[in-house]
Amino acid sequence: GAGVSQTPSNKVTEKGKYVELRCDPISGHTALYWYRQSLGQGPEFLIYFQGTGAADDSGLPNDRFFAVRPEGSVSTLKIQRTERGDSAVYLCASSTAVNNEQFFGPGTRLTVL
C-alpha cells in the first residue's frame, strides 16, 4: 500500500516568507509526528498528533512554527517569517497507535535564502 507522502519534496523560499509543508499519513494511522533533520544531524522531534489534537508540541522551536491536523488525517506544518536557520529536511511519520512503529515519509527539504 501507499506509504507516508510529503509535499513538496523541495521548497526554496526567501527569509521572512511563510511556508506550508504537507504530510499525508498512511491511511488508518491515527498518530502523526513531525521531525526536523538539520544537515549532518539526526531527526529531532517537533510535534505529535493523536487524531486531530496535538498531544505534544514541546519540540516546536518557537511560536513561528505551528502544525494542524483538522480532520485527523493530513497534517500541515506552517512556518511564519522563515529564517535561514529553519533550513532543514522536515520529516513526517505516522503509526497505527502511539506505541507502534513509526513509518517515515521522504521529507521536505526546506531552503531559506
Partner 1 sequence: GEDVEQSLFLSVREGDSSVINCTYTDSSSTYLYWYKQEPGAGLQLLTYIFSNMDMKQDQRLTVLLNKKDKHLSLRIADTQTGDSAIYFCAFSGATSGTYKYIFGTGTRLKVLA
The residues of the shown chain that bind partner 1, judged by CB under 8 A, are 3-4, 31, 33, 35, 40-45, 48, 55-56, 59, 91, 93, 98-99, 101-107
Q: Is 85 helix (H, G, I), strand (E, B) or coil?
A: helix
Measured from the CB atom, the residue of 73 and 90 that comes closer to partner 1 is 90
Nearest-approach distance from CB 16 to partner 1, in angstroms: 29
The CB-side HSE value for 92 (13 A sphere, CA atoms) comes to: 30
- CA angle at 101 for the pair 98 and 103, rounded to the nearest 5°: 105
Nearest-approach distance from CB 84 to partner 1, in angstroms: 22
Q: Give CA–CA dist 88/102, Å, rounded.
A: 20
| CA-only gyration radius of the chain, Å | 13
Measured from the CB atom, the residue of 16 and 61 that comes closer to partner 1 is 61
Nearest-approach distance from CB 77 to partner 1, in angstroms: 16
